[in-house]
Amino acid sequence: MPFTKSVDGIRVHYHLAGRVDGEPVLMLMGLGADSRGWVMQQRALGSRYRLVLVDNRGAGRSDRPPGAYDLVTMADDAIACLRAAGFESAHVLGASMGGILAQVIAAHHPERVRSLVLACTACRHHQWRRELLEEWIDTARSDGMRKFARANMEWLIGGRSLRRVALGMQLFGPLAFNLSGPAFISQVEAILAMDETFASSLSDVVAPTLVTVGSQDRLTPIGDSEELASRIAGAELEVVRGGAHLFMVEHAVTFNRLVLDFLDRSVPTSTTPSPAPFALRSAPASA
């Protein structure tokens, strides 16, 4: 199992999958989850690309240092993994908190980013979401991660999928049983520390960008993705009908198709014309 050291000395775990000769895709998961969250993407994306899948600090096999985490440091963790894998740049795919980390990399390290995919994420806080995240901290601290998972599935999974108990356990097993409360709280606090200047840095993003979201996402609604796409020059926006926050699992076939199409058009050898700037599309969902 490959590990690397981050800038502050902690061990960060990553693993490689997909085509050995493919262009690299750096894949960053969201709050509380580890790289297993990409299980529905590995075969599809790996058929054409070399995947570098990172366990964020606090999750998976990466170290879980005590105290506050920082988004910039977590983005540096991901870059350290990319370089340890033998790449200086990659296509960067981030979901939820991973999408925030991907934004940090694209804005502050543009030389590392060949293209950018931002899924179910945002660039600033709404007051209601800040209050929700603070409630999550309180629940995790007082009642533990199992109760947190049971109480908050509805924010992440669509109603139909929520009724599929097996799917819920698959998605939340790592979160409920393999993540400590303190590490989860440290990740949430890193997100809460994102200030109002964060969104302004997106004007510095120069990589071709796809922003994608589920139409029924309650945690990062369509308006967040519309703002992202409007702030990044030339960004495309794709909305997956019927998808909730974890639409990359619920509607994996649709998500994988959108991402592969975008990546294929973003490689340097592609002759496919680029789409018009900020092209809003609505993709039919197919599970």
According to DSSP, the β-strands at 209-214 and 236-240 are parallel
Contact 206/234 with Cβ under 8 angstroms?
Answer: no
In 104-154 the beta strands, taken as DSSP E runs, fall at 113-119
Domain ranges of the chain: 3-283
CATH class of 3-283: alpha beta
Question: Largest Cα–Cα distance in the chain?
Answer: 55
pTM, rounded to two decimals: 0.88
Looking at residue 173, what is its pLDDT? 52
Query: Which residues neighbour 286 within 8 Å (Cβ) at sequence distance 6 or greater?
Result: 251, 253, 254
Ordered per-residue pLDDT tens for the chain, 287 residues: 699 999 899 999 999 999 999 999 999 999 989 999 999 999 999 999 999 999 999 999 999 999 989 999 999 999 999 999 999 999 999 999 999 999 999 999 999 999 999 999 999 999 999 999 999 999 989 988 777 777 777 766 665 555 554 455 455 555 544 678 899 999 999 999 998 889 999 999 999 999 999 999 999 999 999 999 999 999 999 999 999 999 999 899 999 999 999 999 999 764 333 443 444 445 555 54
32: left (phi over 0), alpha (psi -120 to 50) or beta: left
